[in-house]
């Protein structure tokens, strides 16, 4: 086989591991990445998750060769590519913007890179890639004749056809509507499993990362706060940032008053909250513990004493948001503030209403203890990244508060 031929059906052979060693990136006036060490196994689907400005896009650009690190090394398949130009790296990137050539057919778009490299079997490889994304029957069409989701598949086929050792996905589904985005999440995962390439997906969408990735790294302020399987990160966050960014969490801070082999007890403003020892990062002093909203149960009266459950209350429901499959309650409890509860809508008769007095309980085994304390929420009119319906709810609350003060 010559250098101008690429074997068909050989996708899995191209996957390679990625290793970042002591990577930092400094710009005038600020540091984007600080001493980042990261290893991504070959053939895995890895997600780098974090808010805007956390350093995830800079990390992707460093891997792609679009930026040079201030310090550290980048290795792909064990080969140091730190000083290698972008076009010389075994890396392809799929962006949110599809960047297809409008004057070319779908077939020509996918085969373009191969033909520039002088690959003799470019057309057959392009057909194979289009079959992979189930678009080979549209090979003769132009990009403007395809939907947004189909164009994204073409962009993916164009990247995969080059057999990169590493495929970088930079918010690739951000331009799609919700239903199509969820469909593409499943399809991308299936494609990754079939071709065997190493996928690195950079996103700020928690659901997207958890749906698609084998491993998720949560990034904050140029550092990785926690890394692991999506379920592990969600069920057992180690820091307040991870607990609040990856889903929602109810957090309580207090002093450890009892320590046993199997659990510890925290006194949070007079409420005793028990945490299993193996689910707590700290076991003495002042610590923050938490529970996810869907783990919490509402009660119309004080529940009977049960050593296997934590109980808080009474409190009063101050907001009810019906979303169809579930209802989100906000319960204000003295000394604890607002506590969120997600209840699945199994029966409309159990729907609680705004103003109801309730107690809250959850299994001790669902409590987690953090390695740090939750920072105070910034004072702002609206919370970051709220959709319009939630902004409307927030506006109503603010107006009610102003009327009460008046």
388/405: higher pLDDT: 405
Region 139-163: mean pLDDT is 87
Mean pLDDT of all residues in 225-238 = 96
Taking all residues of the chain, what is their mean pLDDT, rounded to a whole number? Answer: 86
Query: What pLDDT does residue 374 have?
Result: 73
Q: CATH 3.40.50.300 in the chain: give the residue spans.
A: 11-231
- Asked whether the beta carbons of 123 and 185 are under 8 A apart, the reply is no
CA distance 156 to 169: 9
Q: Where in the chain is the domain with CATH 2.40.50.100?
A: 236-375
Check whether domain 11-231 has CATH 3.40.50.300, yes or no: yes
Determine which helix (DSSP H) or strand (DSSP E) holds 61, and give its type and residue range.
helix 56-64
Q: Is the pLDDT of residue 318 over 50?
A: yes
Q: pLDDT digit string (tens) for 273-294?
A: 999 999 999 999 999 999 999 9
CB contact at 8 A, 368 and 289: yes
At 4 the pLDDT is 45
The rounded distance, in Å, linking the Cα atoms of 329 and 318 is: 8
Domain 236-375 in this protein, CATH class? mainly beta
pLDDT score of 173 more than 80: no
Rounded to an integer, the average pLDDT of 325-350 is: 88
Q: Which tokens sit at 309?
A: 């459950």
Calculate what percentage of the chain has a pLDDT beyond 90: 57
Measured in degrees and rounded to the nearest 5, phi and psi for residue 297 equal -115, 140
**Could you tell me the pLDDT band of residue 6, with boundaries at 50, 70 and 90?**
very low
Please give the Cα distance from 42 to 164 (Å, whole number). Answer: 12
What is the pLDDT at residue 314? 95
Phi, psi (deg, nearest 5) at residue 39: -125, 125
* Global pTM value: 0.81
Cis peptide before 314 (omega within 30 of 0): yes
Q: What is the pLDDT of residue 398?
A: 53
Query: Which of the four pLDDT bands, split at 50, 70 and 90, describes residue 217?
Result: very high
Q: How many angstroms separate the CA atoms of 238 and 37, rounded? A: 18
Q: Considering just the CA atoms, what is the radius of gyration of the chain in Å?
A: 25
- Over 70: is that where the pLDDT of 114 sits? yes
The neighbouring-strand residues paired with 290 are 251, 368
DSSP 239: S
Structure confidence at residue 382 as a pLDDT band (50, 70, 90): very low
Per-residue pLDDT averaged across 67-91, rounded?
Answer: 93
Task: Dump pLDDT digits (tens) for 246-264.
Answer: 989 999 999 999 999 999 9
Question: What mean pLDDT comes out for the span 335-346?
Answer: 91
């Amino acid at each position: 086989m010559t250098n101008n031929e690429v074997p068909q059906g050989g996708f899995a052979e191209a996957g390679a591991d990625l290793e970042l060693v002591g990577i930092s990136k400094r710009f005038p006036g600020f540091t984007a990445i600080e001493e980042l060490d990261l290893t991504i196994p070959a053939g895995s689907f890895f997600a780098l998750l974090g808010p805007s400005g956390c350093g995830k896009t800079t990390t992707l650009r460093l891997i792609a060769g679009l930026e040079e690190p201030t310090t550290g090394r980048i290795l792909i398949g064990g080969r140091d590519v730190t000083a290698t130009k972008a076009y010389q790296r075994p890396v392809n990137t799929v962006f949110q913007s599809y960047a297809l050539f409008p004057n070319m057919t779908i077939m020509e778009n996918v085969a373009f890179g191969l033909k520039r490299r002088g690959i003799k079997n470019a057309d057959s490889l392009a057909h194979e890639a289009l079959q992979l994304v189930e678009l080979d029957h549209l090979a003769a069409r132009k990009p403007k004749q395809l939907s947004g989701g189909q164009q994204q598949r073409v962009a993916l086929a164009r990247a995969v056809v080059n057999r990169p050792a590493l495929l970088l996905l930079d918010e690739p589904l951000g331009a799609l509507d919700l239903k199509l985005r969820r469909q593409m999440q499943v399809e991308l995962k299936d494609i990754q499993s079939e071709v065997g390439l190493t996928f690195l997906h950079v996103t700020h969408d928690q659901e997207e990362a958890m749906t698609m990735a084998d491993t998720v790294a949560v990034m904050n302020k140029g550092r990785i706060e926690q890394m692991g399987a999506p379920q592990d990160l969600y069920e057992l966050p180690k820091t307040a940032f991870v607990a609040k960014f990856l889903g929602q969490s109810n957090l309580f801070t207090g002093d450890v008053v009892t320590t046993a082999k199997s659990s510890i007890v925290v006194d949070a403003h007079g409420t005793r909250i028990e945490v299993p020892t193996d689910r707590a990062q700290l076991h003495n002093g002042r610590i923050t513990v938490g529970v996810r909203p869907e783990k919490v149960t509402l009660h119309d009266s004080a529940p009977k004493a049960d050593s296997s459950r934590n109980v808080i209350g009474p409190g009063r429901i101050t907001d009810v948001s019906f979303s169809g499959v579930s209802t989100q309650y906000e319960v204000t409890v003295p000394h604890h503030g607002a506590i969120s509860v997600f209840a699945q809508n199994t029966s409309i008769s159990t729907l609680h209403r705004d103003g109801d007095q309730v107690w809250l309980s959850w299994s001790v085994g669902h409590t987690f203890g953090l390695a740090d304390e939750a920072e105070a929420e910034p004072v702002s009119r609206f919370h970051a990244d709220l959709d319009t319906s939630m902004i409307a709810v927030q506006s109503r609350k603010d107006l009610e508060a102003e009327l009460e003060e008046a």
